[in-house]
Structure 1
Amino acid sequence: MIISYYWPPAGGPGVQRWLKFAKYLPENGYDVTVVVPENPDYPVLDTSLMEEVPKSIHLIKVKIKEPSRMAGKLSRKRTKNLQRGILKKDAGILERAMVWMRGNLFVPDARVGWKHRVLKDIEPYLTNNPTATVITTGPPHSVHLIGLELKSLVPSVKWLADFRDPWTTIGYHKDLKLGKRAQKRHVDLEKEVLNTADLLIVTSPHTGKEFKSKTSRPIQLITNGFDILPNMQMRQPEGKFVLSHIGTLLSDRNPQLLWESLQELCKESTDFAADFQLQLAGNISDEILESLTYFKLDTYVDNKGYVSHEESVALMFKAQALLLIEINSEETKAILPGKIFEYFASRRPIIAIGPKEADIELLITDTHSGEFFNYQQKTALKKHIIHLYDLYKKGTNDGNSNDLIDRYKRSYLTKILAKTIDYVWE
């Protein structure tokens, strides 16, 4: 049994992790039941993912009361932005109040009230399957509280808690204006979950190290991955010199060194200025757009807004290079964005920017899929963009043809998950 808040028609990479595990687990001998909200208020929708829900699984849909619907009556746009993680630095009183209420009245998050309904609705399943394997996945980390209570009610089940992101060390916690009581509650709940689950699954090495310092429970690293057919066209795409970023760009994910480099290159080379295009596909914060205007890059921007998963993959395949941008902070070293794995499958060169010693650097290095730069490496970043542009002008900005990306196929990762489930029952 997989318990997940995010499920199609929700959009974004967080949905695909357990959608794909649910697809491949039956091939590994498992009967799969997935528990999802019946009437969720998702910030982003991608109805194309509905077609990918496996017909072999059983779905239990449980009603949920979403505080975001009530908040949306005051300001739908502000509520959606908060749900997407887009927090304006110059937020007004209403938005600051909404952030404070989210952080202090709903611990660990606004979906915490779903727990009791889920426990009630899955009781028949547990009666018939008292030795089931139950997997909870967060964020929202309140889903793990379902597993926590379930483990006390039905000790015979094995409970695996899957952390797609860290909990108390996640970067946005500092933006939630947590009071001392709320902060302590987060720490206490995290400790209880980490010490009660039969096994913890993490998506990055940094999170694994963090949890290892907090608990003696077994920890298994299973990254995200890709389930698309890898790009078989190695030759560079036709068209402009397109640098493409796929996904959300938050206010804090605003790489001044990249914008400065691109501005300088457009000034220094009329050829570069004529060929260059910055493509953005996803939810973009106003601060990012304002920065692009400030650096006089707005005329080069092709802002497509949120696109479907299918469209995003097509854009990856056609880009001259793919931008991967992470917030420059200690907390984000552990973040492995879900899109990086489909970036791998696109076989297009990756330009990654993030904090020093970030886990994304290890993946890019191991797969020979691009170059990583920290926020102090503007000169090296600019030089690398020039290098890619020179290849582009020669028609040789080709893709990466090695098979090192195969370890990130969803089917392969599901085999690791199946072995992990077997391990907790030994």
Structure 2
Amino acid sequence: MKRESLLSRKLLLITPVFPPKGGGGVQRILKFAAYLRQHEWETTVVTRNFGEKIRWHDDSQLGLLPQESVIRIGEFVRHTSFIRRVVGRLAPIDSDYFWSRQVCQELPNFLKGDYDAIMSSGPPHSVHLIGQRISKKYRLPWVADFRDHFTLNPEYRPSSALHRKSDQRFERSILDASKAIICNTRINRREMIRRFGLHYHTKLHTIHNGFDRNDLAEAGTGLKADDQFSPSDCNLVYLGGLRGGRIDDSFFSVLESIGDMKFSRFNRILVHVFGDAGKRTELCTTLVKRGAVKLHQAVPANRMRAVLEQADGCVAWQSNKPQYRGTVPGKLYDYLAMEKPVFFLGQSNGEADRILRSFNLGRTAVPGNVNAGKEQLFQFVESLGIEHYRFLQQERYPVERFSRQFQAGQLATVLDSILVD
């Protein structure tokens, strides 16, 4: 099934997440598939059908790939019942293991023509089982894309010691069988080398998440009346869904502590959350009632600029666990592209903090210290509008390295290299 010609190369890309499902992970894979064509790679995406059960629908990007370039196998299933949750917890690797097995069985019936390479993108990381088996069956070079860590993820909680051992063995088999591994941050790449061995370093590459200038260029899509911002408020935007629990409350506790503090330029801070708020905490609900937080529906990709242009600044947060040093909230790249100042509650000297500091575009406070966070947030708001955060474009570290088009070129370079090997 492998092709010999390099003039018209074809990639089979396996992903459990794809439009009409919205979200940052979806955008990464969609834009890889769309912009690889600029580098002489034609992509066929293998994903699943999404009904009405997904929380975030975004139909605005469906036209980026021809319909015939997308193969859909199986259905997205939300594990809401007790039995489904138990089965999902006990499944090997993760709850999508059964979808991965279904794809392995049915995909050969859909494949037409020859392919030059295969790529799988997780989480969920059971998708790499498809990449592994199809690669072996058709003798195709395989790239595994880790949009987040697998067993090194700070939120990784296996159901048993047996699951942990099996998962670690599976992750090492991915490193052994694949021709290349894509990590989403530099720190995550270094952590994988540290855990699995220096001899894998030539296989491991870094391609960050990013932004798409084409999405952010669409300024003509206006906002609903309810989404308009008041100029007397300090309007801070948070793009993305709420996760619930202590991670969200680490920020909302800081926001609550601000209370009735007086600002020189604004009446108050109002944080606008654009995304799924179904998991909001009691503290978040309290702040909504007090007028410190306003909840909005998720923003389609072609409306992000309309939202961000109104914002005085943006916010992002993560857990206070040191293991989060290598994670970067996906929304941070859109803030960066729009040159919006960012208040970031996260790991000092972590990857996100380093990116913000390199462009002089934000202030970082360490999660868990409410008083220090309160002071940092107050100073951040006071600094807005006086050109304190003046965007610095770096010659050696340009912001365009985070553009989806540039990153598709990075991926094409990796794909070209595994063909030569």
With the length of structure 1 as denominator, give the TM-score of the two structures: 0.81
The 5 A counterparts of 1:6-405 are 6-39=17-50, 43-55=54-66, 58-64=69-75, 66=76, 68=78, 71-72=79-80, 74=81, 99-104=85-90, 106-123=91-108, 128-129=113-114, 132-155=116-139, 157-174=140-157, 178-212=159-193, 213-215=195-197, 216-217=199-200, 218-229=203-214, 238-254=231-247, 258-269=251-262, 274-284=267-277, 288=281, 290-292=282-284, 298-375=290-367, 378=370, 381-392=373-384, 400=391, 402=393, 404-405=398-399
In structure 1, stretches of 5+ residues that fail to align are 75-93
Kindly indicate whether the alpha-carbon contact (under 8 Å) linking 2:234 and 2:269 is maintained by their aligned counterparts in 1. yes
Match of 1:10, SS state, is coil
Residue 284 to residue 379, structure 1, CA distance change in 2 (3 Å): same
Deviations 1:201-221 (A, max 9, x none): 010122212222315341110
Letter of the 1:166 partner, please give it.
H
Match of 2:291, SS state, is helix
Match of 2:294, SS state, is strand
The Cα shift of 1:411 comes to 0.8
CA distance in 2, matches of 1:279, 1:314: 13
Letter of the 2:242 partner, please give it.
L
Kindly indicate whether the alpha-carbon contact (under 8 Å) linking 1:10 and 1:42 is maintained by their aligned counterparts in 2. no
CA distance in 1, matches of 2:362, 2:186: 20
Aligned to 2:223: none
Aligned to 2:14: 3
Aligned to 1:88: none
Match of 1:182, SS state, is helix
Residue 270 to residue 196, structure 1, CA distance change in 2 (3 Å): closer
Aligned to 1:84: none
Match of 1:425, SS state, is helix
With the length of structure 2 as denominator, give the TM-score of the two structures: 0.82
Deviations 1:45-79 (A, max 9, x none): 32333444223972222224x553xx44x4xxxxx
Deviations 1:261-315 (A, max 9, x none): 4444333328788332121122236563x12466797332211143433344432
CA distance in 2, matches of 1:32, 1:255: 37
Kindly indicate whether the alpha-carbon contact (under 8 Å) linking 2:359 and 2:391 is maintained by their aligned counterparts in 1. no
CA distance in 1, matches of 2:232, 2:217: 17
Kindly indicate whether the alpha-carbon contact (under 8 Å) linking 1:388 and 1:397 is maintained by their aligned counterparts in 2. no
Letter of the 1:310 partner, please give it.
N
Match of 2:155, SS state, is helix
The Cα shift of 1:319 comes to 1.5
The Cα shift of 1:33 comes to 1.1
CA distance in 2, matches of 1:314, 1:307: 10
The Cα shift of 1:238 comes to 4.1
The 5 A counterparts of 1:407-426 are 407-426=401-420
Comparing 291-300 with 55-64, greater Cα deviation is found at 291-300
CA distance in 1, matches of 2:52, 2:285: 33
Residue 293 to residue 22, structure 1, CA distance change in 2 (3 Å): closer
Kindly indicate whether the alpha-carbon contact (under 8 Å) linking 1:253 and 1:328 is maintained by their aligned counterparts in 2. no
In structure 2, stretches of 5+ residues that fail to align are 1-11, 220-228
The Cα shift of 1:243 comes to 1.9
Kindly indicate whether the alpha-carbon contact (under 8 Å) linking 2:287 and 2:293 is maintained by their aligned counterparts in 1. no
CA distance in 1, matches of 2:17, 2:390: 33
CA distance in 2, matches of 1:219, 1:329: 24
Aligned to 1:87: none
Residue 258 to residue 50, structure 1, CA distance change in 2 (3 Å): closer
CA distance in 2, matches of 1:136, 1:50: 21
RMSD value over aligned CA atoms?
3.2
Match of 2:332, SS state, is helix
Letter of the 1:164 partner, please give it.
R
The Cα shift of 1:358 comes to 2.2
CA distance in 2, matches of 1:293, 1:121: 45
